[in-house]
A and B are shown apart, each in its own frame.
Chain A
């Protein structure tokens, strides 16, 4: 039984990416921030899967899609435990854990409505001052955007 389930979870795609070990509640967030609904690619979503390490976990598989660094940075901010598995010809081509970067440009809006990035310019830049709790200090207004106030462009 265990074997069957295991097979189901990593069921083969010929080419594409598996995002594994997503915190169970954040699967839909990952889908949203990566704009996966806009793709025509086949996508498999899984949630409530058993994980030895995390209890319940989620997984996303996207056929014929490989992510850019800036997209992987986005994943790291909402699913810091995620593993990226790139598949080519049914084989694991590359496998790595996401890491929260030191700085992040674009992608995220500054939560401060009085910030210059919400008024005069649209490019944002943050220093990640707390990688565990995800706290981003705005390069411009120096206010802290927290996990709860994360908003993506």
Chain B
């Protein structure tokens, strides 16, 4: 994996992903390992995302690496009209690894083609966000002790949610049964369902979550955004029916955990936070361990 860019989760084989996840377990036990003290990591956030940036920087700092870069472009040469290609070529001279977030879809792939150093995609518009997918996989592995033969319930916006699409594709490698809960307008696109069908796996579709939750090993909640609806009344109608509250957590499996890519708005009530099923804040912390593992692998330090 040394020097291997990660732009889309499918760039890494299942074995390579598992290697990263196993290493992430080590960082969970011992987060502070200053093995990258001589390294410089460039963090280029052309589109601001404080949450993702902090997770990457926290990971880099715990490895002892120095971080250069920006979280908005207004103070940079990009705002003076420098091309993406020139920015990447220049920054790759100053760093050992580039983390890029960009609003343009495909920008990260393009960056990896012009960069002299490996590139990690921290989100390119509505396209890919592979480290989110890896931390989701890690969270499933940590809570279930396996990725195989699980029942995963995905709730909310399954049409536009890129994290959902990546997670579904990745989980088709592990004999997963999918339970898809969404308003009719926001069903999982057929292009993503094809991945499930191609693997001859089972999926079930629902418009309410009560029934599905009882079957779940993992409940993956997502946010439903108002702007996805042409009819505002329709949004008002569906918004509350996809809210997970404590009273729904009866008769669930003992091992069931709730994940959410965060930030949440109202799709998980706060009364769920203190239940044994709530795992979404641990999931966010897992992002740091996974990014530590990934950076170490790509820099050839582990």
B127-A119 in contact (CB<8A): no
> B126: which A residues are within 8 A, CB to CB?
114
Q: Does B1 contact A (CB under 8 A)?
A: no
A116-B105 in contact (CB<8A): yes
Chain B residues bordering chain A, tally (CB within 8 A): 17
For A137, give the chain B residue with the smallest CB separation: B191
Mark the stretch among A1-9, A19-27, A93-101, A138-146 that contacts chain B. Answer: A138-146
Contacts A116-B107, A117-B106, A120-B104: A141 and B127 contacting too (C-beta < 8 A)?
Answer: yes
Chain A residues bordering chain B, tally (CB within 8 A): 15
B106-A141 in contact (CB<8A): yes
Q: Does B85 contact A (CB under 8 A)?
A: yes
> A138: which B residues are within 8 A, CB to CB?
106
CB distance from B126 to the nearest CB of A (A): 7
> B128: which A residues are within 8 A, CB to CB?
142
A140-B110 in contact (CB<8A): yes
> A116: which B residues are within 8 A, CB to CB?
84, 104-107, 109-110
10 tightest Cβ-Cβ pairs between the two chains A and B: A140-B106, A116-B106, A141-B105, A141-B106, A120-B84, A140-B109, A116-B107, A114-B105, A116-B110, A116-B104
Residues of B within 8 A of A (CB): 8, 83-85, 103-107, 109-110, 124-128, 191
Q: List 15 A-B contacts (CB under 8 A).
A: A112-B105, A114-B126, A115-B106, A116-B84, A116-B105, A116-B107, A116-B110, A120-B85, A121-B85, A139-B106, A140-B107, A142-B105, A142-B106, A143-B105, A143-B127
Residues of A within 8 A of B (CB): 112, 114-117, 119-121, 138-144
